[in-house]
Structure 1
């Protein structure tokens, strides 16, 4: 592990993020999981499939 990461972890432990920042991060993770779950359950939409161009 890079020693700089230990410095970052120590700084983060002394000054934790605000509740709003934590909610934002969890919201983004939830949104990504929701999109992944939708794509897994229903498949990739046809309008996002690239079309082959014939010469």
Structure 2
């Protein structure tokens, strides 16, 4: 079920849409995240940029 707060947020966006710069910024962030994901999925992600799990000490 959809949260009613999303309906309120959508109505506010319809009344006061974001500026063009903000839309471009959001799409640029989404594109950068997709590019990093694609690079990692293709296997071109460098080993030095991969996090390693550290064993826990109890």
Shorter-chain TM-score range = 0.7 to 0.9
List 4+ stretches of structure 1 deviating above 6 A.
Answer: none
Q: Which has the higher helix share?
A: 1
Q: Take 1:15 and 1:52, find their aligned partners in 2: how far apart are those partners?
A: 47
Name which one, 1 or 2, has greater alpha-carbon Rg: 1
> Structure 2-normalised TM-score?
0.71
Q: Which residue number in structure 1 is paired with residue 14 of structure 2?
A: 13
Unaligned stretches of 5+ residues in structure 1: none
* Residue 24 (str. 1) matches residue 25 (str. 2): yes
Number of aligned pairs?
53
Q: Take 1:49 and 1:12, find their aligned partners in 2: how far apart are those partners?
A: 38
Unaligned stretches of 5+ residues in structure 2: none
Over aligned residue pairs, what C-alpha RMSD do you find? 2.2
